[in-house]
Amino acid sequence: MIGITYDLRDEYLAEGYTVEETAEFDRADTIDSIDKTLQDLGYTTCRIGNIKSLTKRLATGERWDIVFNIAEGMKGFGRESQVPAILDAYGIPYTFSDPLVLSLTLHKGMTKHIIRDLGIPTPDFALVERECDIEKITIPLPLFAKPVAEGTSKGITAASKITSRQELVHLCRSLLSTFHQPVLVERYLPGREFTVGIVGTGEDTVSIGVMEVHLNEHAENEVYSYTNKEYCEELVEYRLANDPMAEMARETALAAWRGLGCRDAGRVDLRADDHGIPHFLEINPLAGLHPTHSDLPIICTLAGLSYHRLINMIIDSALKRLHESSTNAKRLESPLFPHHFSHLSRYNGNKPSH
């Protein structure tokens, strides 16, 4: 049986949280789509819900063969790692990355330190933890600022591109006050923007497509902002890219994915500098999975891969990891696993056929 862990947006809205505070949480139709797809693939499923529901059900003795985890968590730099950490403690396997990776990659500043040490291009950056840190920034203008540990472009607006010291001070103060976390300040990159869809783990990792983000005339200019992403159907045009710059973006994304130890599926966001070199911006190892609204499924659609195929590839990647792990040998006795091992050879590092 496959359990499904998630944070349902409507539940948090009902508790009084705002639309922006719940921006990363899943809509009901996302959970419906994942659940139905897993059942279509032949699995028995169980909707678990958020971390509080998970802990209650574990306390009553419930267990699952594997958990399809997309829970984002609510508070702290470790919020995305909370559900996986609990599942690790109970010896229950799950999809996507482990607590170490999810904690690291949520903090964009810490991630960029490692990316830079790996020799992967990323814009120069500074971290503003207090107002007094603003005056220490020496990176040349223009700059770009955003909260250090948010997703779905929360905190990003047209004002995120900074062209003066006055704008820098004003924006950093505003973000510190609003999000109660450090602000990441980077050199602004003027080039093309890409997001790369990835499936797999380690040597088996492949890119399923490189998508370029094009903002239309009604969108907020020059930034893939919260508003542009939330209303992408009206404000953004997505195109599959396969020219030389896009191929450079693909290779950079794969190097980042493998270097950080991400698993099963996710996305890497990049933007080119004024010399046409794609730079790593951030990585999402727990990407949204709404069939038509989230970037990763959109990439699949553009690449000719169905939503069913994407979910199947994610599950197959997780099962292959478990099959290869001697520490999970006992769990391989479950009838869940033998049925699907015959399909794993399709994902041996080669790009899946469309």
Beta carbons of 102 and 84 less than 8 angstroms apart = yes
Where exactly are the structural domains of the chain? 2-96, 124-187
Q: What was the pLDDT predicted at 333?
A: 53
Q: What was the pLDDT predicted at 242?
A: 96
Q: What was the pLDDT predicted at 342?
A: 39
This prediction's pTM: 0.89
Q: What was the pLDDT predicted at 30?
A: 97
In CATH, what number does 124-187 get? 3.30.1490.20
Q: What was the pLDDT predicted at 335?
A: 53
* Dihedral sign of CA atoms 128, 134, 139, 143 in order: positive
Tell me how far apart the alpha carbons of residues 13 and 28 are, in angstroms, rounded to a whole number: 13
Strand partners, 236: 215
Beta carbons of 77 and 149 less than 8 angstroms apart = yes
Residue 142: asked if its preceding bond is cis (omega within 30°), the reply is: yes
* Dihedral sign of CA atoms 211, 34, 79, 81 in order: negative
Strand partners, 42: none
Please state the three-class secondary structure of the chain as a single string.
CEEEECCEHHHHHHCCCCCCCCCCCECHHHHHHHHHHHHHCCCCEEEEECHHHHHHHHHCCCCCCEEEECCCCCCCCCHHHHHHHHHHHCCCCECCCCHHHHHHHHCHHHHHHHHHHCCCCCCCEEEECCHHHHHHCCCCCCEEEEECCCCCCCCCCHHHEECCHHHHHHHHHHHHHHHCCCEEEEECCCCCEEEEEEECCHHHCEEEEEEEEEECCCCCCCCCCHHHHHCHHHHEEEEECCCHHHHHHHHHHHHHHHHHCCCCEEEEEEEECCCCCEEEEEEECCCCCCCCCCHHHHHHHHHCCCHHHHHHHHHHHHHHHHHHCHHHHHHHHCCCCHHHHCCHHHHCCCCCCC
Q: What was the pLDDT predicted at 330?
A: 54
Amino acid at residue number 289: L
CATH 1.10.10.60 given to domain 2-96: no
What Cα–Cα distance (Å) separates residue 155 from each residue in 7, 11, 30, 259, 277?
A: 20, 22, 24, 27, 26
Q: pLDDT tens, position by position, for the chain (354 residues)? A: 999 999 999 999 999 999 888 988 999 999 999 999 999 999 999 999 999 999 999 999 999 999 999 999 998 999 999 999 999 999 999 999 999 999 999 999 999 999 999 999 999 999 999 999 999 999 999 999 999 999 878 889 899 999 999 999 999 999 999 999 999 999 999 999 999 999 999 999 999 999 999 998 888 888 888 888 888 889 999 999 999 999 999 999 999 999 999 999 999 999 999 999 999 999 999 999 999 999 999 999 999 999 999 999 999 999 999 888 744 455 445 555 444 433 333 333 333 333
Q: What was the pLDDT predicted at 218?
A: 86
Q: What was the pLDDT predicted at 180?
A: 94
What tokens appear for 287 in the block?
Answer: 């990407």
What tokens appear for 294 in the block?
Answer: 């989230």
